[in-house]
Amino acid sequence: MNIKLFILYFLALSSTNLAIGQQVTSSSISVSPVPNEAAYLDVNSSLFFVGEYLYYKIYVKNTATNQLTSLSKIGYVELIQEDGKTVFKQQLVLENGISQGDFFIPTDVVSGNYKIVGYTQNMLVKSDENFFQQDIGIINPYRGDQTAISELKTEDSDTLTIKNISEETSKDYDFTIHLDKNKYSNRSAVNLSLSTESKNIKNGTYSLSVRKKNEIDVPQLKTSLNYRIKQNNPNVKEGTTRSILPELRGKLISGKIVSTNPNQSVKGKKVTLSIPGDDYVFKVSDVAENGNFYFNIDKPHSQNKALFQVIGDTEDNFNIQLDSLPSINKASLKFNKFTITPQMQKMIEERSIHNQIENAYYHVKPDTIKTKPLEKAYYGKTFTTYVLDEYTRFPTMKETMIEIVENAWLQTNSDGRSKFVVREPEGYGRTNNPLLLLVDGVFLQSHDLLANFKAAKVESISVLRDRYYLGSQTFQGVMIVQTKDNDFNKYLDEDFILQTQLLPDQPVKSYFSQEYNAFNESKTTHIPDYRRQLLWQPHIKMEEGEMGIKFFTSDISGNFEVRLEGFMVDGSPVSFVKTFTVE
């Protein structure tokens, strides 16, 4: 079944009496036409101290094809501690089944055993136990209570018995990782080369981590080789589904409106979603007979504040209730028992000091966020725009509309309320359809707020006289107002507007890579360098069949590990480990 049929199926499902986004009992099952997915997280380590970064890349595969998915557009990653509390939950935009993220572990995170999990909503359609999980140990040496990871040992046992990182690597593949040396000095260049003749490998996608090996045994890292789809999908019966919509076109938001007035019906009502900002989002959703509605956000946005309104309701006649995100079954998690011993004290103290020094110099070693061009809202029509600083300024909005803006005005209704009006094109009659008035991207129904706003704070006013159709809603003209500070939404405190924070999309970053050479030697000699993570590149591609990567060692000596993880174009796993020494 192709993607168009998947979407049509779920559009049909959304018009039923199912509460979108809510869980139902296991007895309420139906056949799902969407193939299942399985997630794999490549994490840079399984042991962290507070003050360090956890880096990861998520791979989501279509289990029907065994290749990276083109279905789900949104992925989720959570870090969960033993008591079930979520330390962080991140939302990622998937491009062809992959994305990346990171998390700086703050000092309020306690020592303990954790799980990092990854999934899509399509995975949770089948089961709330359908997710990837990886054991993580965290040490917070700045808190006195270490009972969560301090267990008494027998006299004959001073070391841990937990398995260390897997040394399993891919075999029988035409692929080579080569280092120019086996031993390096501090602050010296390492030349790494990747090469292959296989088209299958060339067109794959991989992540590369270079990090100091842990001095102690730690929870085992799952690789793309020892990861299996069945690890994601332990108790799922084929063909069953929960009433959760997979996010096939973007981020889904669902909810319900409930009338607070017995004389008001939800029939025929429409709900609007506004996400303010330069790249604002504005959408309209029809409300089903039971009050349900949903939105699909299919474009990036820079802000995470969302405002919901019922069109035509400025008297708070309806309560707007949003559905919570589907959740995994945390009760099914079985946590690893990572522990520390007194013999580790020196290592813990040294690593903690190094982290403090590194964080003190973070301003000279920052990561860079890869920004995308903002997508301005586009209506396919020609607006007339008035940049007010190009005209004589007037103190009030009413005077501004009279003296500057053509074919639009501000009037006072019989109830004393203000109303902005746009003149319809010649030959069109007046309608009762509302004006689409957007201020900094927010739909404004109570026009008094803008009427009483200081005109000096307004940057521009754009007017469209044509009728504008958005879904089943018709607007009589459009007026877009942009303020100078782009903060009009902070004045919106009406009871009929529901305001909430959305889970933000994780930004794509280029991670810091230290360089030492004759040109910057004088600038870097005095700066300590205690990096354990020498390199993290979450997006490795080898279209040419070979790739050279150069990075530098730090002031830390010991054994380091190069780890390459990922999947070929046909979905086959690739996992390689190579070690070197810094003396």
Structure confidence at residue 459 as a pLDDT band (50, 70, 90): very high
Q: Which of 231-240, 309-318, 368-377, 471-480 has the lowest mean pLDDT?
A: 231-240
For residues 525 and 41, give the distance between their C-alpha atoms in angstroms, rounded to a whole number: 37
- At residue 360, the pLDDT reads 93
Could you tell me which residues are beta bridge partners of residue 524?
none
Q: What are phi and psi for residue 549, nearest 5 degrees? A: -130, 130
For residues 512 and 364, give the distance between their C-alpha atoms in angstroms, rounded to a whole number: 10
- At residue 395, the pLDDT reads 96
Mean pLDDT estimate for the chain: 87
For residues 502 and 303, give the distance between their C-alpha atoms in angstroms, rounded to a whole number: 9
Could you tell me which residues are beta bridge partners of residue 77?
90, 118
- At residue 146, the pLDDT reads 86
How far is the first Cα of the chain from the last one, in angstroms, to the nearest whole number? 57
pLDDT: is 146 or 243 the higher one? 146
179-230 confidence digits (pLDDT tens):
999 999 999 999 999 999 888 899 899 999 999 999 898 999 999 988 765 5
The amino acid at residue 448 is D
Helix (H, G, I), strand (E, B) or coil at 52: coil
Structure confidence at residue 296 as a pLDDT band (50, 70, 90): very high
- At residue 165, the pLDDT reads 41
Q: What are phi and psi for residue 516, nearest 5 degrees? A: -125, 125
Structure confidence at residue 376 as a pLDDT band (50, 70, 90): low
Maximum separation of any 2 CA atoms in the chain, in Å:
95
- At residue 159, the pLDDT reads 35
- At residue 380, the pLDDT reads 66
- At residue 19, the pLDDT reads 33
Q: Taking 80 as the threshold, does the pLDDT of residue 510 lie above it?
A: yes
* Average pLDDT over every residue of 336-363: 93
Q: Taking 50 as the threshold, does the pLDDT of residue 375 lie above it?
A: yes
Structure confidence at residue 126 as a pLDDT band (50, 70, 90): confident
Q: Taking 90 as the threshold, does the pLDDT of residue 1 lie above it?
A: no
Q: Taking 70 as the threshold, does the pLDDT of residue 402 lie above it?
A: yes
For residues 561 and 577, give the distance between their C-alpha atoms in angstroms, rounded to a whole number: 7
- Residue entry with tokens 């003296």: 403
* Average pLDDT over every residue of 240-269: 89
* Average pLDDT over every residue of 60-66: 93
pLDDT: is 27 or 507 the higher one? 507
- At residue 16, the pLDDT reads 34
- At residue 148, the pLDDT reads 87
Q: Where do the structural domains in the chain lie, given as residue ranges?
A: 31-238+327-370+510-582, 251-325+374-501
* Average pLDDT over every residue of 435-464: 96
CATH number of 31-238+327-370+510-582: 2.60.40.1930
136-146 confidence digits (pLDDT tens):
999 999 987 88
Q: What are phi and psi for residue 92, nearest 5 degrees? A: -125, 140
Q: Which of 31-45, 49-63, 77-91, 138-152 has the lowest mean pLDDT?
A: 138-152
Judge contact between 102 and 56, C-beta under 8 A: yes
The amino acid at residue 303 is Q
528-561 confidence digits (pLDDT tens):
999 999 999 999 988 888 999 999 999 999 999 9
